[in-house]
């Protein structure tokens, strides 16, 4: 078992280097940073009725996300929630959607390179496919928040249970992080399954989705601990710009994990064949 794990890890790292995943991750990070704020603004404009739950979810991830990243996202959400009823958000919806789709287009390109599929597609094709994925993602978030609203009564019920009062908060944390993992897993599974140019079986897509979902949560938590421990050092180097650099590096780490998830799927499909 240990020997197989070492062989798999070696092959994974070799293919990661061969596909130039770290450079692709930097490119993906760039497009993510360009698209994430338009995406958040557009999503919040569609989820105004769930603003309370959006803040609750973000606050529940406070221990996982680096503090500077949490602050940047919180400020963006605060601005978007306060502006979600203004008419300019509807008149500029197409422009925002076009910008938000740039990250999806980069994801499509990165996944297909990791899978070894032909990536010679024109810019318009990539962007249209990115827009469709962005729209589907937004609709999925509507469903997710509807489930959250329905599940709130379950958490309130758990809090009232007096049989094991000392374990209530632990149980709530387990439920909260399990839901976060499941939501990320479903989004990644859809990306790995539907974004490649060729058909991919569902059984070939879920190993990488599990790897990337767990890696995203664990990686964010470890990076948060590192930033907290080195906050004085980071501030001394970057000064007032430290929050931006922390955010950029966090996006880069998530991009590497995401593309390595696609590499895991490549080997999973190869093994099953």
Task: Dump pLDDT digits (tens) for 8-38.
Answer: 788 888 888 888 888 889 888 888 887 777 7
- Which pLDDT belongs to residue 160? 60
- Which pLDDT belongs to residue 209? 92
- Non-local (6+) Cβ contacts of 224 within 8 A are 63, 64, 65, 66, 67
Counting other chains too, the contacts that 151-158 makes at CB distance below 8 Å and 24 or more residues apart are 151/179, 152/53
Among 14-28, 33-47, 192-206, 244-258, name the one with the lowest average pLDDT: 33-47
CB 260 within 8 A of CB 21: yes
CA–CA dist 77, 175 (Å, integer): 24
Q: What is the mean pLDDT of residues 107-124?
A: 77
Residues 130-154: pLDDT tens digits?
777 766 766 665 555 555 555 555 5
- pTM over cut 0.75: yes
Among 82-91, 92-101, 119-128, 231-240, name the one with the lowest average pLDDT: 82-91
CA–CA dist 134, 136 (Å, integer): 5
DSSP classification of residue 116: T
- Give the confidence band of 207 by pLDDT, cuts at 50, 70, 90: very high
CA–CA dist 199, 101 (Å, integer): 22
In this prediction, what percent of the chain has a pLDDT beyond 70?
65
Nearest 5 degrees, angle CA 119-CA 40-CA 70? Answer: 105
Q: Widest CA span of the chain, in angstroms? A: 61
Nearest 5 degrees, angle CA 95-CA 72-CA 132? Answer: 30
CA–CA dist 21, 266 (Å, integer): 14
- Give the confidence band of 74 by pLDDT, cuts at 50, 70, 90: confident
Please compute, for residue 66, the number of CA atoms within 13 A of its CA located in the half-sphere on the CB side: 28
Average pLDDT score, the chain = 75
For 163, the token pair is 């049989």
pLDDT: which is higher, 159 or 20:
20
Judged against a pLDDT cut of 90, whether residue 210 lies above it is answered with yes
Helices of type H across the chain: 2-18, 21-46, 51-60, 67-83, 88-91, 93-115, 123-160, 168-194, 202-229, 231-238, 242-272
Judged against a pLDDT cut of 90, whether residue 246 lies above it is answered with no
- Which pLDDT belongs to residue 120? 61
């Amino acid at each position: 078992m240990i020997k197989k794990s070492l062989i798999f890890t070696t092959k994974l790292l070799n293919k990661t280097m061969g596909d130039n995943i770290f450079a692709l991750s930097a490119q993906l990070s760039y497009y993510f940073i360009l698209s994430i704020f338009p995406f958040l603004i557009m999503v919040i404009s569609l989820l105004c009725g769930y603003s309370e739950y959006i803040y609750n979810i973000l606050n529940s991830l406070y221990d996982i996300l680096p503090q500077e990243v949490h602050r940047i996202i919180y400020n963006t959400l605060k601005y978007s929630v306060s502006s979600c009823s203004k008419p300019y958000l509807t008149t500029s919806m197409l422009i925002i959607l076009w910008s938000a789709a740039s990250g999806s287009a980069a994801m499509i390109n990165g996944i297909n390179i990791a899978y070894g599929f032909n990536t010679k597609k024109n810019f318009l094709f990539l962007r249209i496919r990115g827009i469709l994925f962005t729209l589907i993602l937004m609709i999925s978030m509507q469903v997710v928040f509807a489930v959250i609203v329905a599940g709130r009564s379950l958490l309130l019920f758990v809090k009232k249970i007096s049989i094991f009062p000392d374990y209530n908060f632990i149980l709530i944390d387990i439920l909260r992080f399990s839901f976060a993992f499941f939501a990320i897993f479903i989004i990644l599974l859809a990306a790995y399954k539907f974004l490649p140019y060729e058909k991919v079986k569902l059984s070939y897509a879920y190993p990488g989705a599990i790897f990337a979902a767990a890696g995203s949560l664990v990686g964010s938590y470890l990076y948060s601990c590192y930033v907290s421990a080195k906050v004085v050092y980071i501030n001394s180097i970057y000064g007032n710009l430290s929050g931006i650099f922390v955010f950029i590096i966090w996006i880069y780490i998530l991009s590497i994990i995401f593309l390595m998830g696609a590499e895991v799927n490549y080997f999973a499909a190869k093994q099953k064949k």
